Amino acid sequence: MKITATGKLKVLYKIFSENDSVLIMINADPDSMASALAVKRLLWRRVSSATISSINVVDRPDNIAMIRLLKIKMVPIDDISGSHFNRFVILDSQPNHNDLFSRFAYDVVIDHHPETGYKARFSDVRPEYGATSSILTEYLKAAGIKPSSRLATGLFHAIKTDTANFQRKAVIEDMRAFQFLFRHANLHLARKIEQSEIRFNQLKYYKKALAGRIMNRGKIFTHLGGVENPDICVNVADFFMRIESVHWSIVSGIYDETLVIIFRNDGIRKNAGKVSSESFGDIGSAGGHKNAARAEIPVPAFRKEIKPYNAQNVLKWIIKKINGRSPSIKAKKS
């Protein structure tokens, strides 16, 4: 028997009491930040405090705009002492998605990525959904909460972003959540977030990506070398997908001694999550959705395989790993 949102909300509320100090952990992006705002609203006046903490540095202009315009307060994980909290929530991720999450034992897991089997007191993982924000919107409705303009705008923008305006995987529940939020969101504010400009100092990465690209039959690979933030790889991968002839975009960079590989595709007879996990899951964390995925691999795990070790050979190694798993993603210098 399917449990309703009202039933799930009742179970969720039983975990918390008025004396609880709650830490909400996220890997900050539009969906996780909006979901965190929703959880804070759900717990308002039900707990002593609720703090949002992110494991990543936010560098994408649209995400920075979202934080500024929606007044989102987050504390970096390095400034968090677990002893100050007695309840832990993780949103839009699961604990084994990143080693930094493993510092805490989670009471609540709410996510829309594939199930990893983590045992929490309360777990609501729905990989068929396009956004975690859609799940949290259902909770808000079940609680009878009319979201503020700020909260509705965040959730609205998150669903648009994670479903790529419903061009990526989504279910009817995502659309229902979107329609509900549309009535309460500040559309002018949402447009300001979406239309944030690229930072001038990031143009060098686009230049490097274009100069070092390898492409064949709609598949483009490029390696950026060292990056100041892994979100730059996401920006470039999304940029390449806006080019008419590109069907696969695979962009990598090295951040904090970790190789970050971003996968994007048009979703037609392709599965980025499967390619990512089967190509790199044995040496790092990897996975994602049908048309958007990510892999993160510690540099020591592969450095000895690349001689001489340089950016060009790292890219060749990535292509070889992917080709070994998926011969359909072969490429040559454009």
Query: Given pLDDT bands bounded at 50, 70 and 90, which one contains residue 3?
Result: confident
Upstream peptide bond of 308 is cis (omega within 30 degrees of 0): yes
Residue corresponding to tokens 């990525």: 113
Contact between residue 91 and residue 111 where contact means Cβ atoms under 8 Å apart: yes
Considering the entire predicted model, what is its pTM?
0.68
| Contact criterion met (CB below 8 Å) for 221 and 333 | no
State which H helix or E strand residue 6 sits in. helix 5-14
Residue 326 banded pLDDT, cuts 50, 70, 90: very low
Mean pLDDT of 177-199: 88
Residues 43-91 pLDDT 10s: 999 999 999 999 998 878 889 999 999 999 999 999 998 889 999 999 9
For the chain, which domains are there? 5-194 (3.90.1640.10), 203-329 (3.10.310.40)
| End-to-end CA separation in angstroms for the chain | 54
Burial of 110 (0-12, 13-18, 19+ CB in 10 A): buried
Q: Which comes out higher in pLDDT, residue 121 or 242?
A: 121
